[in-house]
Amino acid sequence: MKFKIGITGTRSGATTQQVASLANMLVLLAMAREADVELHHGDCIGVDLQAATMASGMGIHTVCHPPVDESHRAMHKSDTILPPLTHFARNRNIVDMCDVLIVIPYQDEWHSSGGTWYTHDYAVKKGETVIIIKPNGTTRSGVGKAERTAGNQRRQRERSTEGRMPRPS
């Protein structure tokens, strides 16, 4: 049985540290599963292309979930290419088909907009295993709502203090 890895991330591309962490993770997962691994990606420029190219180079079977809107499509020569779907439907399909979702965001914290965090939130809602590779290359797994809540609390504190005069000491 194949172990299926989903990938989602920024169109800006992964940092050098994120690429190194992803490479290590793919090698370890392939070794642990005796190379019976698939990588599912959305075929956009940036992280999707980086991950698919890396996986192909390691001999990992790649599965492309292309978007209907081809404006940011990478056109990776994947082993399997599925029918195009809208971005959000395609992202849900990746999560639905995978055993683990690797998230490679542009930011250190959760944001309320963007396909990367939408896909992350969908996986968390479904109770799927999620691994986040932060821009500095560190990884966090199973963070889900805790990551989202911490980011929201910090932003609320920042908004609540905007324009206020400091309290006298």
Q: What are the tens digits of pLDDT across the range 82-122?
A: 999 999 999 999 999 999 999 999 987 777 777 888 999 99
Of the ranges 35-39, 79-83, 133-137, 150-154, which one carries the lowest mean pLDDT score? 150-154
Global pTM reads 0.81
Place of tokens 């797994």: 141
Q: Which residue has the higher pLDDT, 145 or 12?
A: 12
Residues, the chain: 169
Residue 133 pLDDT greater than 50, yes or no: yes
Pick the CATH number of 3-161 from 3.30.70.60, 3.40.710.10, 3.90.1010.10, 3.40.50.450: 3.40.50.450
Q: What phi, psi does 42 have (nearest 5°)?
A: -95, 5
Sequence ranges of the domains in the chain:
3-161
Angstrom distance (rounded) from CA 87 to CA 163: 38
Whole-angstrom Cα distance, residue 48 to residue 7? 7
pLDDT tens digits, one per residue of 46-74: 999 999 999 999 989 999 999 999 899 99
Q: Is 147 exposed, middle or buried (0-12, 13-18, 19+ CB in 10 A)?
A: buried
Q: How far is Cα 43 from Cα 74, in angstroms, rounded to an integer?
A: 5
Q: Output the average pLDDT for the chain.
A: 83
